[in-house]
Amino acid sequence: MDHNFDAQRESTCCTWENISAKHDLPNEAMLDLQFVPSDPNADWDEFESLLQAAGYRSSRYKDGSTLEVSIGPIELNLDSIWQHELETTKIALTCEFRPDGWGFWSD
């Protein structure tokens, strides 16, 4: 499956610019990234195994629609978010998943 990483990064940049302009953000936060199957045969177990090997935690939404991937706390800035988004998206694509968003939280 072809994936447009340039468009994904541009979307992430726009989202980050919008959020950071409107809010006083912490220096660190937990990052959550959401992925959805792009094919009925998407390999949930393999995706989670590869994520775990790369240092990420994952959980499935109860409705079975989404896999949420977590890391952190990380330094909260555009470059750090994009680094994790890029790495997890590359893994996702090998298992027939696609990115569906991200967010963050801190105590």
Answer yes or no: is 86 within a domain. Answer: yes
Domain residue limits at 73: 28-105
pLDDT per residue, tens digit, the chain (107 aa), is 589 999 999 999 999 999 999 999 999 999 999 999 999 999 999 999 999 999 999 999 999 999 999 999 999 999 999 999 999 999 999 999 999 999 999 87
Answer yes or no: is 68 within a domain. Answer: yes
Answer yes or no: is 16 within a domain. Answer: no
Answer yes or no: is 9 within a domain. Answer: no
- Residue 95's CATH number: 3.30.70
Answer yes or no: is 39 within a domain. Answer: yes
The SS3 call for residue 53 is: helix
Asked whether the whole model's pTM tops 0.85, one would answer: yes
Region label for 66, one of left (φ > 0), alpha (ψ between -120 and 50) or beta (otherwise): beta
Pairwise CA distance, residues 26 & 107, whole Å: 9
Q: What is the residue whose two structure tokens read 């952190």?
A: 72
Number of domains in the chain: 1
Answer yes or no: is 3 within a domain. Answer: no
Answer yes or no: is 13 within a domain. Answer: no
Q: What is the DSSP string of 75-86?
A: E-SHHHHHHHHH
